Structure 1
């Protein structure tokens, strides 16, 4: 079985080295080479690869952010190529997310490919995103990270309810108006707001019940979007749609939820 792979690195030399070692292995078809997180996000959504070999530390949208930006069902197996510190590596290993330390070694590439093929064959990668989200949470606890608390207010009584997110030793009160979309990742929900991704332990159904139903709509079994942030609607095959949000974020609308978008378009006409 050949693995369909996307490779991602902001350094051309590193990308070239990675490509050559994957070609040498002979079990990988490289379907796209991306130089930043934005390209990687778009390629993963459009091409549905089996695996992504991706640098963690990139300017702008880094490797961790790519995973968080993708809808749950669109996340392939992730193999990080990284010079990250040992604690982060331990966290990824704990959550069964593969990694290759730079400088890239052929033997480690070969082992990672074998491991990826094994996971694909037994479908054990189905909770891949939730494992990575858990690892990200562990890294945050160790390194610390300051998240701004939004202070805008909007709409009805329901809409004025803030979403409470526990971040290490502090609590973030997130305004609903700042949330552009959310997706489920196992026992967690990734909440995308203010160009950040906040992680809340909750089901998507529970969280949706706290939000303003006029603006927040389910467009996929694992995805909810704030219609205020939809800038374009692109028809896709078999009755599906793509929604383009700010910053070129693209979300797929499944056939089961296409009527939501049809009503949205009719109301805006």
Structure 2
């Protein structure tokens, strides 16, 4: 099981890493200190499980879990010092809720619960896009896409490390995946779970901050209110 540790306290992350070394069949793929870093790591590392603190600066654990609630992977196990958030955590679909200091026996119980969930819900991308490589048709997982940009007669799918030409228009893609793609401007769509923030420049332009990339496409004034609302509600 691929595990990502998310906690703003370095000592807590180190202790959890040590506990996971005592658990069988676990691969710690990363350890990060805030929700935005977690989104980037999820895109890059594709973990099966987040061990997630709740009280963190910026994007906190509950807001991050809300963004991931529609996905089978990663599963979420909250790790916190406070009991008060337990009911909300399970409403967000968390597999378990661990109180700090976490005992290794309790952690193993949580890992077993996550494995049972994952085995009952096999990995499947939310959708497929149709592209071409040297004229030959292929399909790519929507989960792997960073953004979709219309350039002259083509739509280009940007992924980590490459770019591919798609057969469909932005409008067709938007209509096919209305719950997963959001429009930044007339020439750009991004997967909703990639959007981690906005950045306003000195000249008034607004750029989108996307998980897993330094590329920051511009946001149109028309679409800005929708994006701000999405970021507020998670």
- Under a length normalisation based on structure 1, what TM-score does the superposition of the two structures give? 0.48
Partner of residue 49, structure 2: 51
Structure 1 residues 75 and 119: alpha-carbon distance in aligned structure 2, compared to 1, 3 A threshold? closer
Distance 1:22 1:109, change over 3 A: same
Q: Which has the higher contact order (CA 8 A, sep 6+)?
A: 2
Q: Structure 1: how far apart are the matches of 2:210 and 2:56? A: 18
1:230, 1:245 within 8 Å by CA — same for their partners in 2? no
Greater share of helix: 1
Matched, 1:228 2:185: yes
The counterpart of 1:85, out of the listed 83, 86, 99, is: 83
CA–CA distance in 2 between the matches of 1:103 and 1:30?
Answer: 19
Change beyond 3 A, Cα 1:231–1:221: closer
Query: Structure 1 residue 53: deviation in Å?
Result: 0.6
CA distance 1:37–1:92, change in 2 (3 Å): closer
Segments of 5+ residues of structure 1 without an aligned counterpart are 127-212, 234-241, 253-269
Matched-pair contact (CA < 8 Å) for 2:36–2:59: yes
Secondary structure class of the residue paired with 1:227: strand
Aligned residues: 154
Aligned counterparts, 1:58-207, within 5 A: 58-70=56-68, 72-73=70-71, 75-86=73-84, 88-93=85-90, 95=93, 97-123=95-121
Deviation of 1:67 after TM superposition, in Å, equals 2.5
Please state how far the C-alpha of 1:122 moved relative to its aligned partner: 1.5
Are the counterparts in 1 of residues 196 and 209 from structure 2 also a CA contact under 8 Å? yes
**Pairwise CA distance, 1:24:** 0.9
- Structure-2-length-normalised TM-score: 0.55
Q: Post-superposition shift, 1:249?
A: 2.9
Structure 2 spans left out of the alignment, 5+ residues: 125-169, 199-207, 214-234
- Where 2:21 maps in the other structure, the secondary structure is helix
Q: Deviations over 1:79-134 (max 9, x none)?
A: 01012333x213434656311111111111010011111111122899xxxxxxxx
